[in-house]
Amino acid sequence: MDNLDDSWRKDFEPGLVSVIIPTYNRAPVVTEAIRSALAQSWPRIEVIVVDDGSTDGTASDLARISGITVIQQPNHGVGAARNAGLRIARGEHIASLDSDDVWHADFLSTLLAVMREHECPVGIAARARTIAGETCVVRDTPIERMFVTGDKSPVFLNARELRMITIASVLSTNPGVIFHRSVVEPWHTHVRTIDEPGQHARVIFRHAPSAVFVPTPLWEMAPRGQDEVSLASRNDRFDLGWRLSDALDAVENEARPQLSRAERSAFARKRADWLVGDTAFPLSLQGCALSSLRAYTHALLIDLRPTRAFQLIAGAVRSLRVRLGTAEKNRLP
């Protein structure tokens, strides 16, 4: 995990928002994300774009955009890219926008206004997705399922409520959250995507902040299937569950004195869920029996519940069926 000297928190420009945009081989979409940041109605922003070793012409595209600061670095993954931007950020508030997502023009102004009204160091906004020309509100996370309803009023969340939500899932994906500089924590450098769980948990456990959630969608995420990742080391798709599980394990070990037994169990379930959903299950669909069983077994050791044993057995059967089906197909003339 990447750490920052805490003296960094004290040196900032009041009222300034630092927008960090990590990118890797997203030349077709990153300029749209940047322009959505530059078009914010909030008057004081700095936009920091971290090119994480792109090889697709991203650098030349960025050179043609004025009003941004660009950091070029070898490919280290999205967590390291965000931290590179964090090191030079001068804003009182920090916001991280993914390079394939876009903010509505009033994203910052709306969130910062309600954060100021409720005296919260964390602001969270609902999101939308457009697929085949149809825009719909996304309700994937617990906070979205609880509060994205007919009521459009901002929702205040005290430290205890925020802690419960964070242990169960994430606050939101990175583009939907603004942090006051005083509570920002660095991102894990060994997670290439979905890097929010560990970072958000560190923020909550270390600082116990309150937050405000705006249920009206203020940003739009990439259509499913178009969300590319910033690769680093052996970051293949099936490795994601292992990395997320390791990241959450590091946070749990760090925060263990603060966690109740029930919270540790919840964290174990969360780690096992990531491992099953993002590694074991997709590997079983590919017929990768040994790798799949290794991940299922590790999930069972983390979270000793009957559900995990059933998942392991189902995964083994699934892998076997895929392998037998592939073998049968290969024998056909």
Q: Which tens digit of pLDDT belongs to each residue from 35-58?
A: 999 999 999 999 999 999 998 889
Alpha-carbon distance of 81 to 275, in angstroms, equals 24
Tens digit of pLDDT for each residue in 194-241?
677 778 888 988 899 999 999 999 999 875 434 444 444 444 456 777
Instruction: Convert the pLDDT of each residue in 258-282 to its tens digit.
Output: 788 888 888 888 889 889 988 899 8
Q: d(Cα 195, Cα 94) in Å, to the nearest integer?
A: 16
Measure the CA–CA gap between 303 and 270, rounded to whole angstroms. 9
Q: pTM of whole model > 0.85?
A: no
Mean pLDDT of 77-95: 93
Write the pLDDT tens digit of every residue in 118-169: 999 999 999 998 877 788 888 888 888 889 987 889 999 999 999 888 887 7
Q: What pLDDT is recorded for position 5?
A: 64
pLDDT score for 20? 97
Domain ranges of the chain: 6-121+158-211, 237-331
Q: What is the mean pLDDT of residues 243-259?
A: 77
What is the CATH number that goes with domain 6-121+158-211? 3.90.550.10
Buried b (16+ CB within 10 A) or exposed e, 265-281: eebbbbbbbbbbebbbb
Reported confidence tier of residue 330, pLDDT bands at 50, 70, 90: low
Q: What gap in Å lies between CA 223 and CA 28, rounded to an integer?
A: 14
- Mean pLDDT over 303-330 rounds to 84
| pLDDT of the residue at 297 | 94
* d(C-alpha 90, C-alpha 82), whole Å: 14
The closest alpha carbon to 91, from 73, 71, 69, belongs to 69
Q: What is the pLDDT of residue 227?
A: 44
76-90, 171-185, 215-229: range with lowest mean pLDDT: 215-229
